[in-house]
Amino acid sequence: MLVGAAGLIGYLVFSPTEIFAPPRIVSIRKGDSMTTAARRLAQAGVVRSQIAFVVYAKMTGQAKRVKPGDYAFKGGEAMPDVLTHLVNGDFMVVMVTIPEGITVRQIGERLEQAGLVCENEFDDAARTGPIVSALGLGPLGAEGFLFPATYRFSPLANTDHILIAMLGRFFEVLTPDVEQRLFDLNLSARELVTMASIIEKEAHAPDERPIIASVFYNRLRLGMPLQSDPTAQYSLSGESQHAAAAVRIPSAFNTYEIAGLPPGPIANPGLPSIRAALYPAHTDYLYFVARNDGTHIFSRSFADHQRAIAEMKEMRRANPPPP
């Protein structure tokens, strides 16, 4: 009888299951017990016995090493193979890289391309959804607060899961030291990311971020319009506009038309631009104009700025950019 029981256990543990077509997905949640995980695996047919899997996992000392995630099983595996997947964390992931300086709408496009969520669904949730409302991010929503990074999402992740992950990464940046710095600068978190987003769109050379920040802070202090082309080009609808035309179109974001910061961020800035907004350089510059290589000429007076513009126009005539 013992031999028969041992044979049955050996069969249940070491005999592979049939091949599945399509693969079967089993979700192991954080905090699930081994019994719960084994039940889901058995219900999906991934293991032949819930009890045998629990016993095997405990006997091998790996019952508490299972990692949560969504797993896809193709079948044809015995319990040791299945347990190895769970312990190694071989769960399904979709990697999405969110670069610095893109908008909510552009993030939605990337997520849709990755097959995670519908762009319009994400845009609505990030603008007016319950999560951003609960965080008090209205009426403009999560623009500016979605931290640029490379994320690993489950293919089953929904819009709320994705928003929570991105917002969570941003709020990790708001350490007590940062909050103290905001107090010293008399800035709110929204004003910080608004300034950082403008720096992000204007700066192409990393070393220039604090200098560009100083220009904008100097202008704010003197009551001068920021006159930033990227703010005028920003549109909640996502429609891109050429700078030369955008600066003549009245808008709450057009800093040629309004004084002070626009009502919200124009993109989602990365950490270097946030740091530049927190710790600008100490300069008396009020103007800058772009060179062909992405760096800028900074000026203290309008007359110097006019000369810099003339210099750059002459340089571009002599060395036109390639078509």
Question: pLDDT at position 5, please?
Answer: 55
- Are 219 and 316 a contacting pair, CB within 8 Å? no
Question: pLDDT at position 240, please?
Answer: 59
In a domain, 20, yes or no: yes
CA of residue 112 relative to chain centroid, distance: 14
Q: Are residues 65 and 120 in the same domain?
A: no
Q: Are residues 116 and 192 in the same domain?
A: no
- Are 253 and 234 a contacting pair, CB within 8 Å? yes
* Cα gap 185→192, rounded to integer Å: 10
* Cα gap 131→137, rounded to integer Å: 9
Question: pLDDT at position 92, please?
Answer: 85
Compute, in degrees rounded to 10, the torsion defined by CA atoms 38, 36, 73, 11.
Answer: 10
Boundary (domain end) residue, out of 173, 206, 232: 173
In a domain, 316, yes or no: no
* Cα gap 250→235, rounded to integer Å: 12
Angle at 149 between CA 147 and CA 154, to 5 degrees: 100
Question: pLDDT at position 156, please?
Answer: 85
Q: Are residues 40 and 117 in the same domain?
A: no
In a domain, 76, yes or no: yes
Give the CATH number, domain containing residue 80. Answer: 3.30.1490.480
Boundary (domain end) residue, out of 123, 139, 173: 173
Question: pLDDT at position 238, please?
Answer: 56
Instruction: Provide the sign of the torsion angle of the four alpha carbons 57, 60, 61, 67, taken in this order.
Output: negative
In a domain, 256, yes or no: yes
Question: pLDDT at position 1, please?
Answer: 47
Cβ neighbors of 276 (< 8 A, separation 6 or more) are: 196, 199, 203, 209, 210, 212, 213
Q: Are residues 21 and 64 in the same domain?
A: yes
Domains: count for the chain: 3
- Please report, in tens digits, the pLDDT of each residue of the chain (323 residues total): 444 555 677 778 888 889 988 889 999 988 999 999 999 999 999 999 999 999 999 999 999 999 998 998 999 999 999 999 999 988 888 899 999 999 999 999 999 999 999 989 999 999 999 999 999 987 789 999 999 999 999 888 899 999 999 999 999 999 999 999 999 999 999 999 999 999 999 999 999 999 999 999 999 999 999 999 999 988 765 555 666 677 778 888 999 988 899 999 999 999 999 999 999 999 999 999 998 888 999 999 999 999 999 988 888 777 776 66
Among 86, 22, 79, which Cα is nearest to 51's? Answer: 79
- Whole-structure pTM value: 0.81
Q: Are residues 54 and 83 in the same domain?
A: yes
> Angle between the 271-278 and 209-222 helix axes, to the nearest 10 degrees?
40
Chain position carrying tokens 């990030």 = 126
Chain position carrying tokens 């409302």 = 133
In a domain, 319, yes or no: no
Q: Are residues 124 and 107 in the same domain?
A: yes
* Cα gap 19→14, rounded to integer Å: 15
Considering only CA atoms, give the Rg of the chain. Answer: 27
Question: pLDDT at position 2, please?
Answer: 46
In a domain, 36, yes or no: yes
Q: Are residues 63 and 100 in the same domain?
A: no
Residue 251: give the domain boundaries. Answer: 188-285
* Cα gap 175→275, rounded to integer Å: 12
Boundary (domain end) residue, out of 57, 88, 119: 88
Q: Are residues 83 and 99 in the same domain?
A: no
Q: Are residues 80 and 106 in the same domain?
A: no
In a domain, 181, yes or no: no
* Cα gap 91→78, rounded to integer Å: 17
Q: Are residues 198 and 279 in the same domain?
A: yes
How many CB atoms are located within 10 Å of the residue 194 CB? Answer: 26
Q: Which residues of 221-252 are buried (b: 16+ CB within 10 A; e: fewer)?
A: eeebebebbbbbbbbbeeeeeeeeebbeeebe
Chain position carrying tokens 């089993």 = 26
In a domain, 3, yes or no: no
* Cα gap 260→225, rounded to integer Å: 6
